[in-house]
């Protein structure tokens, strides 16, 4: 699993550096306030478009999963290059890359794990003397990832949300605080809008998410109201 994560990260980093370098070489801060990302955004949509399943149900094919490092490189490049204020324009294009926000290796690996990269599953094989065999899983499974304080939880969540949304999945990003949740949403709103996935990603509190999920099944207020009305006689007897 470690070898898989390392090899996928190397693919990600090579593609990310290539994308950022190409955009910066064509960017002249004297004539423009920010790089032109239209080509990069179009490439990202095309990449997903060639991999997404077109059926009624969203299915992540093996080819889609194999392309996740490249997809993440595109998403990170868009986000980084939208924040051109973070590099020193006075030092020239060659030095500019050193003043960009950079995706930390821990953030990328965390996203890999959330997207199921590098996990092993145990499989029974019919061989005498060998009961189980570990193989690398290529399935998308539920995961929990712990990210420490100030290590980029907002980045991990937003980029993961982009990957899911581009794959055709509606995403709910939840937090205990409405203020922090809206802050994170606003920080990445430009990326969501650029990729036209803003309607697929929703930020809110845990309470809001639970209420929404319950209301998708039924209207809780109406159900409680009906329960009280239909059992009024029993309630009156109890109160008497």
Of 27-31, 130-134, 173-177, 219-223, where does the model show the most confidence? 173-177
Which contacts of 157-161 are long-range, i.e. CB under 8 A and separated by 24 or more positions?
157/184, 158/79, 158/184, 158/187, 158/188, 158/191, 159/72, 159/75, 159/76, 159/79, 159/107, 159/111, 160/111, 160/114, 160/115, 161/201
The torsion angle over the Cα atoms of residues 48, 49, 50 and 53, rounded to 10 degrees, is: 90
Question: Alpha-carbon distance 158 to 165, whole Å?
Answer: 10
For the chain, which residues make up each domain, given as ranges? 2-214
Q: CA-to-CA distance for 152 and 105, rounded, in angstroms? A: 11
Position 208 confidence tier, pLDDT thresholds 50, 70, 90: confident
pLDDT tens digits, residue range 151-206?
889 999 999 999 989 888 889 999 999 999 999 999 999 999 999 999 999 999 99
Q: How many residues does the chain have?
A: 240
The CATH class that applies to domain 2-214 reads: alpha beta
């Amino acid at each position: 699993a470690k070898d898989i994560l390392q090899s996928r990260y190397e693919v990600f980093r090579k593609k990310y550096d290539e994308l950022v370098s190409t955009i910066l070489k064509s960017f002249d801060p004297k004539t423009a306030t920010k790089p032109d990302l239209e080509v990069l955004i179009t490439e990202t949509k095309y990449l997903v478009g060639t991999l997404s399943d077109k059926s009624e149900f969203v299915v992540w094919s093996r080819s889609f999963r194999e392309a996740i490092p490249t997809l993440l490189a595109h998403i990170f490049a868009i986000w980084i290059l939208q924040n051109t204020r973070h590099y020193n324009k006075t030092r020239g294009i060659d030095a500019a890359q050193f003043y960009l926000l950079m995706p930390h290796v821990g953030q990328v690996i965390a996203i890999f794990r959330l997207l199921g990269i590098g996990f092993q599953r145990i499989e029974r094989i019919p061989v005498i003397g060998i009961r189980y065999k570990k193989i690398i899983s290529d399935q998308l499974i539920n995961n929990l990832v712990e990210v420490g304080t100030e290590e980029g939880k907002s980045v991990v969540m937003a980029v993961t949300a982009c990957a899911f949304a581009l794959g055709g999945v509606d995403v709910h990003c939840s937090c205990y605080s409405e203020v922090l949740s809206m802050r994170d949403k606003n920080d990445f709103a430009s990326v969501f809008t650029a990729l036209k996935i803003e309607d697929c990603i929703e930020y809110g509190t845990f309470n809001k998410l639970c209420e929404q999920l319950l209301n998708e099944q039924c209207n809780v207020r109406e159900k409680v109201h009906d329960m009280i009305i239909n059992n009024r006689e029993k309630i009156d007897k109890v109160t008497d």
